[in-house]
Amino acid sequence: MCIKGDCVCAQGTADEIFTADIINELYDLEPGVFDPISGNIRLEDE
């Protein structure tokens, strides 16, 4: 289960909830930032 604020953002098996779309929504990331294959979040260079 993924919680964002006081709401359940997603629930299910790890394979169901650890998708790029859900992780991007959960952490307010831009599309394409989370790589579900490696499990990494790509950060922008400053």
Mean pLDDT for the chain overall: 83
Give this prediction's pTM.
0.59
The residues with which 3 forms a beta bridge, in sequence order, are 8
Asked whether 20 and 38 are in contact (CB, 8 A), the reply is no
42 or 5, which is more confident: 5
Residues in the chain, how many?
A: 46
Supply the pLDDT for residue 7.
92
Question: What tokens were used for 20?
Answer: 């790029």
Could you read off the pLDDT of 3-18 as tens digits, one per residue? 999 999 999 998 898 8
Do 2 and 24 contact (CB within 8 A), yes or no? Answer: no
User: Which residue from 37, 44, 6 is spatially nearest to 23, judged by alpha carbons?
Assistant: 37
